[in-house]
A and B are shown apart, each in its own frame.
Chain A
Amino acid sequence: SQKIEQNSEALNIQEGKTATLTCNYTNYSPAYLQWYRQDPGRGPVFLLLIRENEKEKRKERLKVTFDTTLKQSLFHITASQPADSATYLCALDRYGGSQGNLIFGKGTKLSVKP
């Protein structure tokens, strides 16, 4: 069955640097992959979606890449700020389609220090 992994549980960086988070999946390539942000005690908030035919997607200081050969997505936050500190989750459809039956990675907790 499809599995999704975020290799780093935690990432500490200095303010102003670029944070890069990794998400890997096994088996078939999904139709799309999503990234969410979760703050402590809150529900996840959708950030970006990238489709299998897209190499890169940008939104303000956020950039997501999707490499179906490596079965990997990278999530970048440029010019990071302490307010970017949160846990970031990647997610994809369990059966490779768009049914909304998502599986989530365990997340990477990002800490941006001033």
Chain B
Amino acid sequence: SQTIHQWPATLVQPVGSPLSLECTVEGTSNPNLYWYRQAAGRGLQLLFYSVGIGQISSEVPQNLSASRPQDRQFILSSKKLLLSDSGFYLCAWSWGGVEQFFGPGTRLTVL
């Protein structure tokens, strides 16, 4: 069966510090991978998606970036965090882009 992992589960970072969130999927190959953010009072917002190694599409211009160095690894990064980057970050995978399977999420607080 397939499993998706995210870490860390919670993170408190000062404004201006860097960020690296990691997501890995087990039990499948060549999945589509997604990064979402869910901010308080707002809906689930797609940030990046990837259909293969090194292939990243961005939906929302911002100070975040994503990379996919391996087939089942997806990383979300920032060089300098902003207060507005606080939120619940979710990684998801799918086969062919239809139903998506979400990870447990990372709660990020930027102070």
A residues contacting B by CB (< 8 A) are: 32, 34, 41-46, 49, 89, 91, 93-94, 98-107
Interface residue from A42, A45, A89, A98 paired with B98 (Cβ < 8 Å): A98
Give the interface of B toward A (CB within 8 A).
32, 34, 42-46, 49, 57, 59, 90, 92, 94, 96-105, 107
CA A89 – CA B36 in complex, angstroms?
14
Residue of A nearest to B98 (CB): A98
Task: Name 8 extra pairs, CB < 8 A, besides A43-B90, A102-B46.
Answer: A32-B98, A34-B99, A43-B105, A46-B99, A49-B99, A100-B32, A101-B97, A103-B46
Q: Specify the main secondary structure of chain B where it touches its partner.
A: strand
Q: Separation in Å of the B88 CB from the closest CB of chain A? A: 8
Tell me the minimal C-beta distance from B98 to chain A in angstroms: 6
CA distance A85 to B97 in the complex (A): 28
Of B46, B92, B98, which one neighbours A43 at CB under 8 angstroms? B92
Question: Smallest CB-CB separation from B105: which chain A residue?
Answer: A43
> Among A32, A45, A94, A104, which residue has its beta carbon within 8 angstroms of that of B43?
A104
- Whether B43 contacts A106 by the Cβ 8 Å rule is yes
Give CA–CA (A107, B38) in the complex, Å.
Answer: 11
**Residues of A close to B34: CB separation below 8 A:** 100, 102
Residues of A within 8 A of B90 (CB): 43-44
| A-B residue pairs, 3 tightest by C-beta | A100-B97, A43-B102, A104-B44
Q: Nearest Cβ in chain A — how far from B76, in angstroms?
A: 15
- For B103, what are the chain A residues with a Cβ–Cβ distance below 8 Å? 43
